[in-house]
């Protein structure tokens, strides 16, 4: 953690400051007193746990929440048998919601055993009114509920709850605010996600994200560069730039700037070795970006380019703003510029009105593009989205059949593709000790594929050269070639 605030020096006898982030520093200092007192009372440290559902955006938010809890004085543990538990929720598909309700029953029992326990719910699911109503009614043991726009306020909300001893609820419909310079804790010392923008303006007709994450807002380039410089000074060598549609980065800034220009600035940061980003919307992927990817020494040879469907008719109904042919053309251009790039995608099966012919078009695209991997999803009806009220919802048994067929095809192609680099010596960022084989470590290639090889744990966080000897399913077994 690179922030340098001494919370002990903050005077909490005064009224809280109005400006951010100073206001939150004040509440962190206040909550520290509570935790300190409880610790003395119980004769043990207070523990916290955060469970993250959903995407990388949520994972990054969780790191910020943990940063605040640790600044307050909690110690992070993996289990929910803790004194402060946060569920950072997702609502992109119905089963994401069901998972959360399922686990809440388990939390209720834990809380009976530990009366000191505090439970907070946040994230995308909490932006839905009917969810909050349900929790208020049927899950009274929850202490704090907040949404996606005000995660920076965690310390203040804890303070409100401690003072009232009631369920503290704070949900904002939208925001134009971005609060910088708050504590955060990284899961990995050597790599980090970095938000470059929040929200989404695309309103794909099936998707709930624009409703729960609000309008698109870009961070200022200088704030992003500053954060990355600090991360690098703290040992980070790889970053993942995060946004729902990174290709439209910068459009709403006072001094507008393109995503490609931002990448050029980030590339200059000394000590930073690898740059990844997600997600790229095909409709906004510019020639300028392809050029930057071609010239860059640091941008990884990997692109996640969700297609959603191969049928131009369905793509129109999805409000995606590209056709099958335009997508294929784009792939051709990208591969022309970066021949060894690894392409991955997202596909939805069973969008309302999808016919067998439409589905065949999707199969056709995946056979033509040959994605390294694809995340396949069964269409989930999200209340409030235009697709939810469309006629011709596809019957479950037909969706299931198509889904299985698609998955088999996707996996067949992935298996054929891994292995194409056997015999090559490639750079690998070592991430962890191998959990299955003693004396082995695991790392990632520039194209994000995993490699296992014999090596010491001291290599973790380093980029080393590894000879790729053997392909097994979706990963390689290699041998260490050199440590530079
Ligand atoms: N912003 C990203 C996607 C974020 S959501 C993009 O535009 O590509 C991640 C994926 O979830 C989407 O790509 C889509 O494939 C899937 N998804 C979103 N809403 C869905 C729904 N209602 N049912 C099934 N899958 C959905
Ligand atoms: Fe959802 Fe579309 Fe926005 Fe992605 S671009 S988050 S799929 S609305
Ligand atoms: Fe889920 Fe929210 Fe991400 S709905 S996919 S956690 S933006």
pLDDT, one tens digit per residue, over 352-400 is: 999 999 999 999 999 999 999 999 999 999 999 999 999 999 999 999 9
**pLDDT of 266 strictly over 90:** yes
For the CA of 346, the nearest ligand:
1
Please give the pLDDT value at position 73.
Answer: 96
54 Cβ closer than 6 Å to some ligand 3 atom: yes
**pLDDT of 2 strictly over 50:** no
215 Cβ closer than 6 Å to some ligand 2 atom: no
**pLDDT of 269 strictly over 90:** yes
Atom of ligand 3 nearest to the CA of 244: 7
pLDDT bin (cut points 50, 70, 90) of residue 483 is low
For the CA of 213, the nearest ligand:
3
Q: Whose CA is nearest to atom 19 of ligand 1?
A: 207
Helices 22-42 and 56-72 cross at an angle (nearest 10°) of 60
Mean pLDDT score, 265-282: 97
Please give the pLDDT value at position 182.
Answer: 85
For 191-214, write each residue's pLDDT tens digit: 999 999 999 999 999 999 999 999
Mean pLDDT score, 286-303: 97
Residues in contact with 320: Cβ distance below 8 Å, sequence separation at least 6, in sequence order: 204, 282, 283, 308, 309
Q: Whose CA is nearest to atom 1 of ligand 2?
A: 207
Atom of ligand 3 nearest to the CA of 57: 3
For 133-169, write each residue's pLDDT tens digit: 999 999 999 999 999 999 999 999 999 999 998 999 9
| Phi, psi for residue 416 in degrees, rounded to 5 | -70, -30
Please give the pLDDT value at position 124.
Answer: 97
Q: Tell me, in angstroms, the distance from the centre of ligand 3 to residue 92's CA.
A: 6
Alpha helices in 12-153 (DSSP H): 22-42, 56-72, 94-113, 129-138
Report how far residue 115's alpha carbon sits from residue 41's, in angstroms, rounded to the nearest whole number. 13
Mean pLDDT score, 259-286: 97
| Phi, psi for residue 445 in degrees, rounded to 5 | -75, 170
244 Cβ closer than 6 Å to some ligand 2 atom: yes
Pairing, β 342-349 against β 373-378: parallel
Length of the chain (residues): 484
How many angstroms from the chain centroid is the CA of residue 125?
A: 15
Joined together, the tokens standing for residue 262 give 């931002």
**pLDDT of 484 strictly over 70:** no
Phi-psi category of 319—alpha, beta or left, where left has phi over 0 and alpha has psi -120 to 50?
left
Mean pLDDT score, 231-253: 96
Please give the pLDDT value at position 1.
Answer: 46
For 396-425, write each residue's pLDDT tens digit: 999 999 999 999 999 999 988 888 899 999
386 Cβ closer than 6 Å to some ligand 2 atom: no
318 Cβ closer than 6 Å to some ligand 2 atom: no
Does the global pTM surpass 0.85? yes
Please give the pLDDT value at position 66.
Answer: 96
Q: Tell me, in angstroms, the distance from the centre of ligand 1 to residue 93's CA.
A: 8
Please give the pLDDT value at position 442.
Answer: 97
Report how far residue 132's alpha carbon sits from residue 110's, in angstroms, rounded to the nearest whole number. 22
The DSSP bridge partners found for residue 378 are: 349
Report how far residue 367's alpha carbon sits from residue 307's, in angstroms, rounded to the nearest whole number. 13
Mean pLDDT score, 463-480: 93
Q: Tell me, in angstroms, the distance from the centre of ligand 3 to residue 197's CA.
A: 14
**pLDDT of 241 strictly over 90:** yes
| Ligand 2 probe mutation, 208, 209, 318, 351, most atoms within 8 A of CB | 209
For the CA of 378, the nearest ligand:
1
Joined together, the tokens standing for residue 40 give 């003395």
Q: Tell me, in angstroms, the distance from the centre of ligand 2 to residue 94's CA.
A: 16
Joined together, the tokens standing for residue 164 give 């009232």
- Do the Cβ atoms of 205 and 317 come closer than 8 Å? yes
Place of tokens 């909550």: 31
pLDDT bin (cut points 50, 70, 90) of residue 468 is very high
pLDDT bin (cut points 50, 70, 90) of residue 5 is confident
For 69-86, write each residue's pLDDT tens digit: 999 999 999 999 999 999
- In angstroms, the first-to-last Cα distance of the chain is 27
346 Cβ closer than 6 Å to some ligand 1 atom: yes
For the CA of 53, the nearest ligand:
3
Which contiguous run of DSSP H or E holds residue 119? strand 118-123
Atom of ligand 1 nearest to the CA of 304: 8
Q: What is the mean pLDDT of the chain?
A: 95
**pLDDT of 299 strictly over 90:** yes
Atom of ligand 3 nearest to the CA of 148: 2
Quote the DSSP letter at residue 443.
Answer: E
Higher pLDDT, 110 or 8: 110
Joined together, the tokens standing for residue 132 give 């909050």
């Amino acid at each position: 953690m690179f922030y340098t605030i001494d919370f002990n020096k903050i005077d909490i006898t005064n009224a809280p400051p109005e400006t951010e982030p100073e206001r939150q520093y004040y509440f962190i200092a206040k909550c520290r007193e509570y935790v300190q007192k409880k610790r003395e009372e119980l004769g043990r440290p207070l523990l916290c746990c955060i469970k993250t559902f959903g995407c990388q955006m949520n994972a990054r938010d969780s790191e910020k929440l943990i940063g605040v809890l640790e600044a307050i004085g909690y110690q992070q543990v993996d289990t929910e048998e803790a004194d402060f538990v946060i569920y950072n929720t997702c609502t992109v598909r119905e089963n994401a919601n069901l998972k959360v309700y399922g686990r809440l029953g388990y939390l209720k029992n834990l809380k009976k055993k530990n009366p000191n326990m505090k439970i907070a719910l946040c994230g995308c699911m909490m932006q839905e009114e009917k969810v909050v109503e349900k929790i208020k009614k049927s899950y009274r043991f929850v202490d704090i509920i907040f949404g996606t726009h005000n995660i920076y306020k965690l310390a203040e909300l804890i303070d409100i709850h401690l003072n009232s001893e009631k369920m503290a609820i704070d949900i904002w419909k939208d925001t134009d605010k971005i609060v910088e310079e708050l504590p955060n804790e990284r899961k990995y010392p050597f790599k980090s996600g970095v938000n470059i923008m929040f929200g989404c303006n695309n309103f794909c007709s099936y998707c709930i994200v624009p409703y729960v994450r609000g309008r698109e807002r870009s961070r200022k380039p200088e704030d992003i560069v500053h954060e990355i410089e600090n991360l690098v000074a703290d040992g980070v060598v790889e970053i993942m730039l995060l946004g729902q549609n990174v290709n439209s980065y910068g459009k709403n800034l006072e001094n507008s700037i393109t995503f490609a220009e931002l990448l050029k600035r980030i590339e200059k940061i000394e000590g930073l070795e690898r740059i990844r980003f997600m997600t790229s919307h095909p409709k906004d992927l510019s020639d300028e970006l392809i050029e930057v990817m071609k010239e860059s020494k640091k941008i990884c040879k990997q692109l996640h380019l969700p297609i959603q469907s191969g049928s131009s008719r369905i793509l129109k109904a999805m409000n995606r703003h590209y056709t099958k042919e335009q997508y294929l053309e784009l792939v051709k251009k990208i591969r022309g510029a970066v021949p060894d790039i690894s392409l991955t995608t997202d596909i939805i099966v069973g969008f309302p009105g999808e016919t067998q012919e439409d589905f065949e078009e999707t199969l056709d695209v995946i056979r033509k593009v040959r994605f390294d991997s694809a995340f396949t999803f069964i269409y989930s009806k999200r209340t409030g989205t235009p697709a939810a009220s469309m006629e011709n919802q596809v019957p479950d048994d037909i969706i299931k059949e198509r889904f299985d067929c698609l998955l088999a095809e996707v996996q067949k192609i992935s298996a054929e593709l891994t292995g194409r680099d056997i015999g090559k010596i490639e750079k690998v960022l070592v991430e962890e000790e191998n959990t299955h084989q003693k004396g082995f470590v695991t790392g990632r290639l520039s194209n994000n594929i995993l490699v296992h090889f014999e090596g010491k744990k001291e290599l973790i966080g380093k980029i080393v050269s590894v000879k790729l000897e053997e392909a097994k399913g979706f990963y390689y077994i290699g041998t260490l070639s050199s440590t530079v």
